[in-house]
């Protein structure tokens, strides 16, 4: 039977087996949940029985759709947060791209000093949890609205106005700073690889510096900038922790905070519907991005030597500008960390008196009159459990996502151009577009009950591992595709001729050669899950608590000293892992733009 | 008169010396080629003259204007040097159409619309790309992109045109075609061309003068045929010419009033200088250079060898001849083939054999040769 033979020879190639099994698994883990969430928006949930009169849990209902889109309260529940979200994401994008773009230009195209240092410092806000800066902002600028005033008021005696301390303004500043490194990496990569001859050609033809930037440099990096815009937009839109910390005191609501409130509260149906709206926006963004990338003015040019980049001479501005930038960067990276350290020793923030300092929060045994008798951080077994859980979760997620990402890369590159490869490529990128919290909502809806051979996973550690792996697969699969693509097929084919087995080819040839790219496929999922809050917050139960969710709870309770200490822990772990990866294999997030 | 004078130009990249004390003058309306192997400093030299790179030390004049001086702290930007530059990878702007690419330089000069339009059409007709005006570079073939780049460079009528290996990304056939066009363009535009290449044939066929460089230093700066016939040293002799010149290690055996007797491991030569009589010591180590076309094959030749390999191309045949342990390359014109291992005679009937000193590698003398087998002394 020829069909059997064909199937047999098809399955003899490892890339086909990988392709087929990954497509099936990802369809199950990404697409099936989408149907489940749509279904959930039409169902009556048990906590909603009071409001949907005369219904049973599980009944079909259009109640959620009606009240979200055309109901009496839809303005407050949905439309206002939606507008806030869009505005917040827009302004964040503009800020992040201008800042990241200017830094990328300075580092790749001018003779500014301390390039390496600037590059590594600038990346820090992206490595740190996004709300690190939000907490630093609160540490500095909070006013009497939430109890003790911040350091700024302590030092200067000036009360910060509400608009400055909370809500839209600080949210966009903090998110903008958080995503600026992302723009920096993307735009900097383009600028670094862009053929400097293009700018030199314009220079010889007597174009002035501004005209060159306006007419040559910007148009050439524009597609990358648009792409960055869309990616940052979708990330900013799904940000939860920053608007939660900075927006709550002034009741500034966005879609994610609404999602959290409704899903954790009495109306999960609303929550699932808001999640669905966010997923749709994300999908639209991906489509627009895809359309922008494949255009007529292809930027593929004959590759020549572009080593001779002549840098713009900043002349007398060189040293002052370099110092200014360095100070600015220290202000947004190192200074916040110092305030966390300082605040964790202070009984009440806002007073710099000596007797206000204590080691109670670190080593104390817990006094009933201070913070409900919670023992100090170094004696607190819950903090150790959280640290261990976070670390364990990140390591497992990174190993799983990194390995699957590498397999995706292998299968996609080997089967380049086929329908299967394109499907897997898109499928593995799709989780990027699902806002973290919406993704959490999906898994909550999907795995709260037994599904096929998978038992109910709610409350288990496994569900955290599963969602982390799927959510960060896009990073890992991009890295995997890059690694395999750059290698070219001949290197592997040379080993195939000698009859080296697939396993050996991977372990002895492909991975060692591309270790930097491969490792960065493991590194990003690790860092991301270490600092992630919104993805896990709906799925974590007291038994599976992790550092970030504990942090969130301490913050809600106003136990700032513990929150500050935990942030320090997270930043410390993330930065040391990043350094180790950098030392071992030269893997780094900024890939040496400042190099 | 745009004469270019480079005085004592040195360029260091960190500790790497890219160009070492370069001193050349490029005459007005010349077509000068900077020739040399990769890493010899030729591209750096071109970038220094055009202003894309500043020398570490030295002075550069273009058209009697001091455009760079390390001592006086003068460094005119490329825009102020009135030059054109053709890049190896063309550096066309991918987001502009062909006509926008060509017009860009003219817009910078504030030409009016009608003049720009006129000039763009003039150039696209000259370079036969007028049908592609509204296309983007990515939609053109390599050869067409090349022509657009040339049109863009020529548009503002630069007095001096710099070209950095402009033909190296083209296929062999197109390269020969473009070579002819460049030479014609040089005549028609009436400007000075400075051309970087590592292809000795390109340098030979195009230029009015070749500046041969090695490791940042000028080896020889003369007309192409002079470089070919009177190479200043072993490097010049070996770099220029295809097939490569034959080198035979010899020792000076006897210095007579008329001729000099030279002995190699297999042969004895009698060298009669036609230039001047060099002063040589007995026992001095020398190298004899014989161009392949100056070695003739004949049935009667007294020195006998065997055909080691024959490569007929139709127009000529390159023959490698083995005489005992010496291999010599010869070029025979005409459609001929030689069966391998057949015995054949050799004659040296030219007067352009070159003698080099082995230790200094310098050219000592040119002359005619008599040859015989060594075992018949």
Sign of CA dihedral B102, B106, B111, B115: negative
State yes or no: pLDDT of B5 exceeds 90: yes
* Interior/surface letters A242-272, b for 16+ CB within 10 angstroms, e for the rest: bbbbbbbbeebbbbbbbbbbbbeeebbbbbb
B147/A contact by beta carbon, under 8 A? no
Question: Considering CB atoms only, which of B43, B91, B145 is closest to A201?
Answer: B91
- Per residue in B59-94, pLDDT (tens digit) is 999 988 999 998 888 888 888 888 899 988 888 888
- A583: phi > 0 → left, psi -120 to 50 → alpha, else beta; which? alpha
Of the CA atoms within 13 Å of residue A119, those in its CB half-sphere come to: 21
Count of CB atoms situated within 10 Å of the CB of A504: 11
C-alpha distance from B242 to closest chain A C-alpha (Å): 27
Question: Residue A456 contacts by C-beta under 8 Å, 6 or more apart in sequence?
Answer: A447, A448, A449, A450
Chain B residues in contact with A303 by the CB 8 A cut-off are: 89
Distance from chain centroid for Cα A290:
20
- The pair of structure tokens assigned to A206 is 């007597």
State yes or no: pLDDT of A591 exceeds 60: no
pLDDT grade for A349, boundaries at 50, 70 and 90:
low
C-alpha distance from B105 to closest chain A C-alpha (Å): 5
- A234: phi > 0 → left, psi -120 to 50 → alpha, else beta; which? alpha
- Per residue in B224-254, pLDDT (tens digit) is 999 999 999 999 999 999 899 999 999 999 8
Q: d(Cα A131, Cα A239) in Å, to the nearest integer?
A: 10
Question: Considering CB atoms only, which of A201, A222, A298 is closest to B87?
Answer: A201
Are A206 and B109 an interchain contact pair (Cβ–Cβ within 8 Å)? yes
Tokens 């130009």, residue located? B9
A462-476 mean pLDDT = 91
Instruction: Give the ipTM.
Output: 0.79
Count of CB atoms situated within 10 Å of the CB of A69: 13
C-alpha distance from A192 to closest chain B C-alpha (Å): 15
Are B85 and A204 an interchain contact pair (Cβ–Cβ within 8 Å)? yes
Which residue from B minimizes the CA distance to A219? B95
Instruction: Name all contacts of B222-228 with Cβ < 8 Å and 24+ positions apart.
Output: B228/B204
CB contacts < 8 A, A to B, total: 97
DSSP state of A377: G
Interface test with A, best of B55, B89, B196 (most A CBs within 10 A): B89
Q: Cα dihedral angle (A325, A330, A336, A341), rounded to 10 degrees?
A: -170
Question: Considering CB atoms only, which of B78, B79, B136 is closest to A297?
Answer: B136
The overall average pLDDT reported for chain A is 81
Sheet strands side by side (includes B4-13) = B16-26, B4-13, B57-62, B65-69, B74-75
In contact, A484 and A409? CB cutoff 8 Å: yes
Chain B residues in contact with A195 by the CB 8 A cut-off are: 89, 91
Chain B residues in contact with A293 by the CB 8 A cut-off are: none
Q: d(Cα A522, Cα A520) in Å, to the nearest integer?
A: 5
C-alpha distance from A193 to closest chain B C-alpha (Å): 13
What would the 3-class secondary structure string for B170-237 be? CCHHHHHHHHHHHHHHHHHHCCEEEEEECCHHHHHHHCCEEEEEECCEEEEEECHHHHHHCCCEHHHH
C-alpha distance from B141 to closest chain A C-alpha (Å): 11
B56/A contact by beta carbon, under 8 A? no
State yes or no: pLDDT of A154 exceeds 80: no
Higher confidence at residue A343 or residue B234? B234
B345/A contact by beta carbon, under 8 A? no
B50/A contact by beta carbon, under 8 A? yes
* Interior/surface letters B218-244, b for 16+ CB within 10 angstroms, e for the rest: bbbbbebeebbbbbbbbbbbebbbebe
- Per residue in A382-415, pLDDT (tens digit) is 888 888 999 999 999 999 999 999 999 899 888 8
B197/A contact by beta carbon, under 8 A? no
Which residue from B minimizes the CA distance to A312? B52
pLDDT at A371: 57
Helix (H, G, I), strand (E, B) or coil at A570: helix
pLDDT at A414: 85
A307/B contact by beta carbon, under 8 A? no
Helix or strand (DSSP H, E) at B7: strand B4-13
In contact, B191 and B223? CB cutoff 8 Å: no
State yes or no: pLDDT of A60 exceeds 70: yes
Q: d(Cα A45, Cα B310) in Å, to the nearest integer?
A: 90
- With DSSP H G I counted as helix, E B as strand and the rest as coil, what are the percentages for chain A, rounded to 5? 75, 0, 25
pLDDT at A249: 83
Distance from chain centroid for Cα A397:
14
- With DSSP H G I counted as helix, E B as strand and the rest as coil, what are the percentages for chain B, rounded to 5? 25, 40, 35
C-alpha distance from A104 to closest chain B C-alpha (Å): 21
Are A304 and B47 an interchain contact pair (Cβ–Cβ within 8 Å)? no
Nearest of A77, A38, A73, A45 to residue A59 by alpha carbon: A45
Counting DSSP H helices and E strands in chain B, the numbers are 8, 22
- Per residue in B184-221, pLDDT (tens digit) is 889 888 889 999 999 999 999 999 999 999 999 999 99
Cis status, amide bond into A432, omega within 30 of 0: no
Q: d(Cα A512, Cα A584) in Å, to the nearest integer?
A: 12
Q: Where are the beta strands (DSSP E) in B52-173?
A: 57-62, 65-69, 74-75, 83-86, 160-164
B93/A contact by beta carbon, under 8 A? yes
- The pair of structure tokens assigned to B148 is 């657009």
Query: Whole-prediction pTM value?
Result: 0.74
Question: Residue B342 contacts by C-beta under 8 Å, 6 or more apart in sequence?
Answer: B306, B307
State yes or no: pLDDT of A257 exceeds 70: yes
Q: d(Cα B291, Cα B254) in Å, to the nearest integer?
A: 24
B174/A contact by beta carbon, under 8 A? no
Sheet strands side by side (includes B303-312) = B296-298, B343-347, B303-312, B316-323, B326-333
The overall average pLDDT reported for chain B is 90
B90/A contact by beta carbon, under 8 A? yes
Are B104 and A197 an interchain contact pair (Cβ–Cβ within 8 Å)? no
């Amino acid at each position: 039977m020829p069909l059997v033979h064909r199937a047999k020879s098809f399955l003899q190639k490892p890339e086909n087996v990988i392709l087929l099994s990954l497509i099936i698994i990802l369809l199950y883990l990404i697409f099936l949940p989408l149907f489940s969430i749509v279904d959930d928006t039409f169902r009556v949930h048990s906590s909603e029985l009071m409001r949907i009169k005369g219904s049973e849990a599980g009944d079909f209902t259009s109640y959620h759709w009606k009240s979200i889109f055309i109901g009496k309260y839809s303005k407050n529940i949905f439309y206002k947060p939606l507008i806030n979200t869009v505005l917040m994401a827009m302004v964040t994008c503009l800020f992040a791209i201008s800042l990241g773009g200017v830094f990328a230009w300075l580092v790749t195209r001018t003779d500014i000093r301390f390039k390496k240092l600037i590059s590594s410092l600038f990346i820090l806000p992206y490595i740190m949890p996004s709300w690190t800066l939000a907490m630093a902002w609160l540490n500095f600028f909070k006013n009497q609205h939430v109890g003790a005033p911040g350091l700024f008021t302590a030092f200067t005696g000036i009360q910060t106005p509400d608009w400055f301390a909370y809500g839209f303004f600080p949210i966009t500043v903090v998110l903008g700073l958080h995503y600026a490194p992302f723009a920096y990496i993307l735009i900097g990569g383009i600028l670094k690889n862009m053929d400097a001859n293009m700018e030199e050609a314009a220079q010889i033809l007597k174009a002035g510096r501004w005209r060159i930037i306006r007419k040559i440099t910007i148009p050439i990096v524009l597609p990358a900038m648009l792409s960055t815009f869309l990616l940052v937009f979708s990330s900013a839109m799904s940000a939860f922790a920053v608007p939660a910390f900075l927006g709550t005191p002034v009741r500034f609501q966005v879609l994610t905070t609404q999602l959290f409130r409704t899903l954790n509260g009495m109306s999960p149906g609303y929550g699932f519907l808001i999640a669905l709206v966010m997923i749709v926006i994300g999908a639209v963004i991906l489509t627009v991005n895809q359309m922008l990338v494949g255009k007529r003015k292809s930027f593929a040019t004959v590759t020549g030597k572009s080593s001779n980049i002549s840098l713009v001479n900043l002349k007398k501005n060189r040293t002052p500008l370099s110092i200014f930038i360095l100070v600015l960067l220290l202000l947004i990276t190192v200074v916040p960390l110092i305030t966390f350290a300082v605040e964790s020793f202070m009984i009440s923030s806002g007073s710099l008196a000596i007797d206000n300092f204590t080691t109670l929060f670190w080593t104390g045994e817990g006094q009933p009159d201070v913070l409900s008798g919670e023992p100090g951080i170094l004696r607190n077994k819950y903090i150790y459990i959280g640290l261990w859980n976070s670390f364990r979760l990140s390591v497992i997620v990174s190993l799983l996502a990194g390995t699957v990402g590498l397999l995706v890369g292998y299968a996609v590159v080997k089967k380049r151009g086929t329908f299967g490869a394109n499907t897997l490529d898109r499928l593995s990128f799709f989780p990027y577009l699902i806002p973290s919290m919406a993704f959490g909502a999906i898994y909550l809806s999907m795995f709260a009950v037994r599904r096929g051979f998978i038992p109910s996973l709610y409350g288990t550690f496994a569900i955290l591992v599963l969602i982390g792996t799927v959510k960060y697969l896009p990073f890992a699969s991009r890295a995997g595709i890059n690694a395999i693509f750059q290698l070219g097929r001949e290197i592997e084919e040379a080993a195939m001729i000698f009859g080296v087995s697939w396993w050996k080819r991977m372990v002895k040839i492909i991975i060692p050669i591309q270790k930097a790219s491969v490792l960065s496929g493991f590194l990003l999922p690790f860092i991301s899950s270490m600092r992630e809050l919104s993805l896990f917050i709906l799925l974590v139960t007291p038994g599976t608590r992790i550092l970030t969710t504990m942090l969130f709870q301490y913050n809600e309770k106003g136990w700032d000293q513990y929150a500050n200490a935990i942030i320090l822990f997270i930043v410390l772990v993330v930065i040391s892992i990043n350094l180790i990866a950098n030392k071992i294999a030269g893997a780094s997030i900024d890939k040496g733009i400042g190099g | 008169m745009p004469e270019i004078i480079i005085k004592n130009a040195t360029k260091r990249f960190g500790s790497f010396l890219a160009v070492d004390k370069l001193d050349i003058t490029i005459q007005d309306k010349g077509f000068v080629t900077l020739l040399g192997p990769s890493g010899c400093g030729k591209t750096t030299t071109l970038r220094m003259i055009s202003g894309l790179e500043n020398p570490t030390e030295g002075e550069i004049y273009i058209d009697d204007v001091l455009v760079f001086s390390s001592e006086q702290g003068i460094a005119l930007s490329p825009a102020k040097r009135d030059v054109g530059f053709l890049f190896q990878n063309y550096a066309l702007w991918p987001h502009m159409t062909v006509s926008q690419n060509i017009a860009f330089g003219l817009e910078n000069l504030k030409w009016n619309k009608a003049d720009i339009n006129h000039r763009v059409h003039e150039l696209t007709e000259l370079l036969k790309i007028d049908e592609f005006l509204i296309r983007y570079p990515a939609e053109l073939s390599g050869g067409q992109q090349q022509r657009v780049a040339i049109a863009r460079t020529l548009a503002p009528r630069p007095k001096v045109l710099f070209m950095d290996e402009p033909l190296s990304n083209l296929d062999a056939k197109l390269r020969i075609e473009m070579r002819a066009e460049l030479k014609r363009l040089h005549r028609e535009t009436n400007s000075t061309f400075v051309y970087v290449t590592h292809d000795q044939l390109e340098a030979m066929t195009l230029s009015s003068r070749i500046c041969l460089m090695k490791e940042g230093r000028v080896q020889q700066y003369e007309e192409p045929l002079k470089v070919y016939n009177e190479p200043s040293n072993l490097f010049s002799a070996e770099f220029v010419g295809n097939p490569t010149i034959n080198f035979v290690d010899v020792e000076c055996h006897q210095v007579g009033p008329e001729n000099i007797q030279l002995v190699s491991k297999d042969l004895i030569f009698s060298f009669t200088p036609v230039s001047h009589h060099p002063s040589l010591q007995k026992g001095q180590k020398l190298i004899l250079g014989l161009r392949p076309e100056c070695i003739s094959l004949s049935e009667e030749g007294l020195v006998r060898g065997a055909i080691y390999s024959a490569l007929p191309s139709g127009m000529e045949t390159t023959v490698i001849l083995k005489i005992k342990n010496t291999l010599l390359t010869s070029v025979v014109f005409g459609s001929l083939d030689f069966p391998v291992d057949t015995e054949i005679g050799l004659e040296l009937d030219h007067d352009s054999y070159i003698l080099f000193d082995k230790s200094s590698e310098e050219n000592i003398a040119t002359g005619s040769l008599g040859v015989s087998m060594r075992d018949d002394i």
